Structure 1
């Protein structure tokens, strides 16, 4: 599972399974949520709990929006009901079906595209006004191509909204964390695919769960800057369910970045 293509293939199948299990990030929004969005009453999240400030979006009416690795029938249908022209791009066919379900149920127009978030060659340069990218790049082995491709497909002045995982989440022994103990175990760079022993990895693969990669802040924030983005806003967030590490610090963040001139 160390080969690059295996990362994508494994997590595609794993997220298809998560749909069948009813993972919280795979459950489509209700008709009531869509009706409220059509009235202008809506919110979406990039991170576990905090709604993204509406000011980060600007006027969505008639804007071309890419939901990048954002399928599951949750955020993208809401943005479409709020007036945007939305394309949903995701690695999981089952997750994309959740968006199709909501679109057919609610009479929404959503374009659905399956693919690797590191390769947006399905789209021409300057195709979108806004990209909505929740905490999902932890499921690819290299995040910098994601930022470069996002920059390419945005129009000048376009906005990238991203949810990010602080890599500190991956440094501790999960077995001891379940017992209420925080013990540093894994150094950076971290990947479930390469940092774990076969026995440790089976903790997830035996259940068919997705595997993660802990990207450095240099790659997540610096990578956006190196691609040419200008960071304008940032907030931090924590898990809403019981999470020992979240009792000590916020381990997620959301960023708003604008397409500027690429750095040399």
Structure 2
């Protein structure tokens, strides 16, 4: 019997991409990777919990969203929506949104396992199907923000759907990590890339069609895109690697986490109405 041909390894590059390329690549990637992602990380994230990052920082402990009881909360790039189900248990009126049907399939499975069901919507975070001034809080833990070509447009869209005084909290890879190789071991301790190279990281096939896209912004870029959209930046949380935490998640590892940050969580607010 002839063995099936091995798929060629993706070509890695750094180049600009369009919104359409980014949208298509992200939808395809997360649809195809949903099963393996949940198999690898589902136990760490839980079915009903809001874990902000691979360092294990939990909303139950840090309360970055504040008291959500009786408020309308939107999670974008929700994945399996564990955070939304946890917030439902805190008394919030929750909606969970993701571009990927594959990830939302896991959200439904986790809802069935836990018995906690929240509304799930498949939609693009750059064009959300909600009226202006709808939500009191919008949040995401590594969803949407790193995977869009135009994160400035995403900030404006979040601002649009938030009510005056509403909070926008999002976790992303710490910008300093982009100067290092994506390696959890010793090789990942040496700076090799320019911090100022804002071209997205691309994995593409032999025809040049992107299959995975992740965008880099400097700290200053993040501050400027938030303020340009109209937000007030209230805090930036850089979770420290906790003692006794030995789990490796992609490039996150104890050896790197004890030396420099891997996650940045931006806490912003739409100004209250005058």
Query: TM-score normalized by structure 1?
Result: 0.78
Alignment of 1:34-183 (within 5 A): 34=48, 44-48=50-54, 49-52=56-59, 53-120=61-128, 122-136=129-143, 137-174=145-182, 179=187, 182-183=190-191
Number of positions where the alignment pairs a residue of Structure 1 with one of Structure 2: 241
1:129 counterpart SS class:
strand
From 26, 35, 45, give the equivalent of 1:20: 35
Per the alignment, residue 201 of structure 2 pairs with 192
Judged with a 3 Å threshold, the aligned counterparts in structure 2 of structure 1 residues 158 and 185 are, in CA distance, closer, same or farther, namely closer
Contact map agreement 1:171 1:188 (CA 8 A) in 2: no
For residues 136 and 190 of structure 2, the distance between their equivalents in structure 1, rounded to whole angstroms, comes to: 42
1:215 counterpart SS class:
coil
Judged with a 3 Å threshold, the aligned counterparts in structure 2 of structure 1 residues 243 and 16 are, in CA distance, closer, same or farther, namely farther
Judged with a 3 Å threshold, the aligned counterparts in structure 2 of structure 1 residues 81 and 175 are, in CA distance, closer, same or farther, namely closer
Judged with a 3 Å threshold, the aligned counterparts in structure 2 of structure 1 residues 93 and 27 are, in CA distance, closer, same or farther, namely farther
Give CA-to-partner distance per residue, 1:24-56, whole Å, 9 cap, x none. 4556965xx64xxxxxxxx52322222235543
For residues 184 and 217 of structure 2, the distance between their equivalents in structure 1, rounded to whole angstroms, comes to: 23
1:221 aligns with 2:223: yes
For residues 54 and 188 of structure 1, the distance between their equivalents in structure 2, rounded to whole angstroms, comes to: 33
Judged with a 3 Å threshold, the aligned counterparts in structure 2 of structure 1 residues 141 and 25 are, in CA distance, closer, same or farther, namely farther
For residues 254 and 46 of structure 1, the distance between their equivalents in structure 2, rounded to whole angstroms, comes to: 8
Per the alignment, residue 244 of structure 2 pairs with none
Query: TM-score normalized by structure 2?
Result: 0.75
TM-align CA RMSD: 3.1
Contact map agreement 1:189 1:214 (CA 8 A) in 2: yes
Contact map agreement 2:77 2:125 (CA 8 A) in 1: yes
For residues 141 and 184 of structure 2, the distance between their equivalents in structure 1, rounded to whole angstroms, comes to: 28
Specify every segment of 5 or more residues in structure 1 that has no aligned partner in the other structure, as ranges: 35-42, 194-200
